[in-house]
Amino acid sequence: MADTIRRCARNACIRALAWLTGAALLLSSCSSGRLDESRSAAVPARDDQAAQSPSPRGPILHVLAPESRSLVALERLKARHEAAAGVRVDITRRAHMKDVLAEVDRGVAPGGIAYDAVVVPNHVLGRLVESGHIRSLEGYLGDRTPSENQRFDPEKDLFPGWWRATSWYRNKPYGYPFLARVMSLWYRSDLSDEEEADAFYRKYRHPMNASTTWDEYEHIAEFMHQPENGRYGAVVVGAPEDALWYRWTQYAHSFGAKILDAAAPDEYGDIVVNSPEAVRATEFYVKLLRFSPPDAAKYTEEDALRAFQEGRAATGVMWHDLAPRVDDSRESKLPGRYGYARLPTAGGKRVTLLETDLFVIPESAPHPREAFELMQWALTHDVQLALTLNGGFSARPSVYKDQAVKRALRLHMWMFPNLIEGAVPTMMIPEADQIARAMSAELSRVVRGEIAPKAGLDRMARQLEKMLGGKARLRYPPK
């Protein structure tokens, strides 16, 4: 009976691995030209019809956003909206999101330009609302009659619940989710054969496939760990940057832990960052250093991505919107060699961290109604499809049913709708980015071994208590 069970499990594993390997080989055999063809079909280099039309005489809409592949696609398509709406759209790019936020906080751009729309991460929504920097969309939602060029319904056209979860603050709408990102588990799909699958089963007594629990994930990381060959079973980040806070938050949720025990991302609750579940999540994260590159305790997110692109990392938890860069032959040595799966769990529900880049309208916007119409257009199916084909991920389900995505032969695109079940949005209280910075600094000390996980989390709990004043109480007072 045991042999029968083992053979069945092995055969199931082999079938799964064969599918993954076949998909990986198919993807890797596709030239970058095929991807470029799909991009050019959806994102033309220029819009000839718009180019031949006279320049719009209406207002100039100034937009501020961080540099991204999706922004390039939007800039290529903007002539369509300009021609239809009688406006001109001028997009100012900044290298990093932090540069965008610094400019928003100053309230004025270099040269005195007043922006009509800005792209920001949803975790800063509370701070921007409370500081009076952005305006509610309530006045534009009720009396609009969208044209074909701007037809978009945030309640019906986005993944269920995402608009309110990421774009509302204290029962008012403030933005639209221009791009979405979730965490996913990355793994090399080209490293396993029947012999290795048998060896793995004999050692761990479960099939070698995408992990559903963190224990199973640790087994795969250990089995894949071959430092003598320059390959490491896992990769973590440890540098004191927001990327570390995001990852810790993902692991914490997967272990049933939180920072604040709040019912909604824009609400306060008891400080539980040092709960027993949070301690276990942190201890597990630190334990993965055993299977990571020797200097991983200092890794930034870019360092972790580079480890995947160079084939030094066999598995890891990453933002899924970075997957196009590991599958791009212009950046990566192993395009098409990685699979993507939902995050494991410590025993409860499987969850993934969700963050969106929002289009918001500054309070000082000279042309707020025209900016709202631009936002409506940017969330239409055709625009969101183009952004997705160019390397972003849309909050519109219709995009992933489109034949252009199905023909794109990029596994990371197909997988996105399968990764989002149990999506949990990042916190959006006004102190969110302050909490992220403070926790990143302390978590980095924990990862580097300067302080034990429990002691580090206790320190964070005390910092949050001071930072939040009387808005939250300690549930687990440090002794």
Cβ proximity of 353 and 250 under 8 Å: yes
- Is pLDDT larger for residue 456 or for residue 11? 456
Cβ proximity of 265 and 415 under 8 Å: no
Tokens of 467: 């930072």
Q: Which pLDDT score, from 0 to 100, does residue 42 have?
A: 43
Which are the contacts of 379, defined by CB distance < 8 A and separation ≥ 6? 152, 154, 157, 176, 177, 178, 359, 396
Q: Which pLDDT score, from 0 to 100, does residue 47 have?
A: 46
Once rounded to an integer, what is the mean pLDDT over residues 244-252?
Answer: 97
278-294 core/surface letters (b: 16 or more CB in 10 A; e: else): bbbbbebbbebbebbbe
Taking only the tens place, the pLDDT of each residue in 279-302 is: 999 999 999 999 999 999 999 999
Beta-carbon neighbour count of residue 345 at 10 Å? 19
pLDDT at residue 1 tops 60: no
Which are the contacts of 41, defined by CB distance < 8 A and separation ≥ 6? 404
Q: Give residue for tokens 């609400």.
A: 267
- Looking at the chain, the whole-number percentage of residues with pLDDT higher than 90 is 74
Cβ proximity of 137 and 173 under 8 Å: yes
Lowest mean pLDDT among 16-25, 161-170, 211-220: 16-25
- Is pLDDT larger for residue 143 or for residue 200? 200
E strand residue ranges, 361-429: 423-425
Q: Which pLDDT score, from 0 to 100, does residue 150 have?
A: 59
Once rounded to an integer, what is the mean pLDDT over residues 10-22?
Answer: 38
Taking only the tens place, the pLDDT of each residue in 179-206 is: 999 999 999 988 877 888 888 889 988 8
> Minimal CA–CA distance to 305: which of 271, 287, 273, 328?
328
Number of residues written out for the chain: 479
pLDDT at residue 403 tops 90: yes
Return the amino acid letter for 263: A
